[in-house]
Amino acid sequence: MTLHPFVDAVVAYCHATGASVTSWGRSRAHNATVGGQLYSPHRFWLGLDVVYDQTLSGAERSQTARRLGLFLLDEGDHDHLQPLDWTKG
């Protein structure tokens, strides 16, 4: 998935789940400062973090993400989204 389809999928996901984006693209230095992986999709604008207005189950969030071609990782206080087909850079 390239940038523009990713943006479309994220917008659809946020509308469907009541999510707000809290972190998206990162420079190499900022990514290192926050403890991100070397090849984090955040560095390529293909990874972002979201929080929610309402509580949805993990299954609901994951199913919605997958339907839109997104991989969801529950990181406790937020979810991380990236393309299902993400490869390092």
Under 8 Å between Cβ of 41 and 86: yes
What residue ranges do the domains of the chain occupy? 3-83
The pLDDT of residue 89: 55
88 pLDDT more than 90: no
69-82 pLDDT per residue, tens? 999 999 999 999 99
Which residue type, as a one-letter code, is found at position 20? S
The pLDDT of residue 32: 92
- Confidence (pTM): 0.90
Indicate the burial class of 38 (C-beta count within 10 angstroms; 0-12, 13-18, 19 or more).
Answer: exposed
The pLDDT of residue 87: 77
**CATH topology classification for 3-83:** Muramoyl-pentapeptide Carboxypeptidase; domain 2 (3.30.1380)
36-63 pLDDT per residue, tens? 888 899 999 999 999 999 989 999 999 9
